[in-house]
Amino acid sequence: MNTAIPSCGRREASGPGRVASCWLAALLASGLSCQDTTPGLLFDTKQTSLAAGAAGELASGIVEYAHARAQQQPGFQVSAAYRKLIRVAYELSSETPAVAAAHTRIQQGMSPSPPKQAFSAVKVLEATLGQADAAQRGDGADDGRLARCLFEVASTIDPGNVRCLAGVAALHRVPHADVRWADALAAYRRVVPNGFQSSILGLAVSSPDGTAQVGAVSRILMTWAALREGDVSVEFLRPGGSDMQISSEEAVRYWDQFRVDTELPPGRLRISFEEKFTTKDGPSAGAAFAVLLRSFSDPFVIDPRFAMTGDVSVEGRVLPVGGVFAKVRGAALGGCTRVGIPLACAGELVDALVLAGPQPVLALEVIGLANVEDAIALARLDRSERVLLASERFGQLRKAAEAQMVPKPRARSAEIDRLVADVLAMVPNHISARLIGAWNAGSLPARLSIGGSLEAVRMNLIRYLTTIRVGESPDIKDVKTEVSSAQAQAAQEALRVAGTKLAVESNLWSRSWMPPTAA
């Protein structure tokens, strides 16, 4: 499948405050960088009537606004509007530390810093408009260009502002007030070496014996083949079944909305599974495809110990898939430290705790994903300070919960309650922490959900029938006659034990279709 797209002209921290220097080294080693060029200037501040002190103060305010909006609006940090804000701020005062850092973070593909102080967007807008009006009246050689840039900044903050619209319209008629954005934004242009590779861990599920589901990590690879000219295209090698093809197409349609603001070089992205001899199907890799594509255009490095599953919509929502509990177990066995699952699938893990206690969610962090932005926040190696601190707190929570279970469950732990609250304050969709908290409080349901109950009956009954059937396939009539083998007795006992936790009538287990236990 080949989808053409028109071309546009920390290591895991031991402490959350550690600078992400190893992530930056990985980024540079991977070849994800921007051109090291001296771009054309939007304006020369020295050729305007704006004082240096006022320029630095205004630049800092614009950067704080850009960072705050990037936190509030998913995807804003990769938009042309964000780059314009930072570029204008950099030209206003390139020596201001926060401004220089914001400029460099774009060049190196790093996520924006969180705002360092509370501020008012209204005050930033008024300061920007005030300086734009002053520049419009000024007699400096570059006052016209400065005014034009500041009016564009103000219109980004408030697109319907009458002063902005009037100012931009007036400057269209002023000589030497044109702005050459393409030249100025060249500092942020991507350079990708031919053969560049990236990968993300997806999760697959299979039933080797036709009964139990087995989850496993499935590595998805992306390779860049540079071209001299042409379009950017995405090609899925060995795309698998029809469901997977539909999901991969949705991932590309989603990505197209984000990469249009990033000037990518011409070339072809080829995506494939590392395990290439087994046919893949199902939609559960769709969200992973979307994150992988975003890692190329944004760009960012993906944590090799993060795995995820989920379908994706063209709007970027992460949609439910099946076999989630088996996939989570597979991620733990595959050495992952955190896994993202569709938020709508959290109930499947609740059923797992009803059957087995909290052990399944202690092995690693399981976090619910509502959309692709949630997944990116977990997948990128330069995760935010809040996510890193949440992981640190979860490590403490794991130890506290394990101690609470030895030699047997004790009374409710105040320490566990405190740590759960800490984790959820930083990552509200942290399913592992939420379920451990429910277990500690004794508020987990006593029975499986309806869906979990049906699945438990199905799995046990199929295993029972498969064990005792002599012919080509299991048959329900065999349940009434084949009750003497050891395998049949074991399967029947497993079904009886599960029965105490099913969301069905308790007298179901004495009905006539259930064979008696053999002597």
Q: Give the model confidence (pLDDT) of 450-497 as tens digits.
A: 767 766 766 666 655 555 555 555 555 555 444 455 555 566 566 666
The pLDDT value given to residue 16: 43
Q: Is 357 helix (H, G, I), strand (E, B) or coil?
A: coil
Dig out the tokens for 66 from the structure: 């850009």
What digits encode the pLDDT tens for the residues 467-476?
555 555 555 5
Cβ pair 457, 479 in contact under 8 A: no
* Per-residue tokens: 37: 């060029």
pTM, full prediction: 0.73
Rg (CA), the chain: 28
The dihedral of CA 322, 324, 325, 326: what is its sign? positive
What is the rounded CA–CA span in Å between residue 144 and residue 132?
9
Does the N-terminal peptide bond of residue 409 adopt cis geometry, omega within 30 degrees of 0?
no
CA 6 to chain centroid, in Å, comes to 25
Rounded average pLDDT over 75-95? 89
pLDDT at 326: 87
Tokens of 349: 């893990």
Look up residue 409 and give its two tokens.
């469950």
CA 289, CA 221: separation in Å to the nearest integer? 10
d(CA 60, CA 66): 10
Q: Which pairing describes strands 311-312 and 318-319: parallel, antiparallel, or unpaired? A: antiparallel
| Amino acid 14: pLDDT | 43
- The per-residue pLDDT for 294 is 92
Q: What is the mean pLDDT of residues 425-442?
A: 92
pLDDT at 205 over 70: yes
371 DSSP 8-state letter: B
154 or 210, which is more confident: 154
Per DSSP, the three-state class of 269 is strand
250-267 pLDDT per residue, tens:
999 999 988 776 778 889
Please tell me which residue, 504 or 113, carries the higher pLDDT value.
Answer: 113
Please return the burial class of 95, using the count of CB atoms within 10 Å of its CB with bins 0-12, 13-18 and 19+.
exposed
Beta strands in 320-362 (DSSP E): 338-342
pLDDT the model gives residue 466: 55
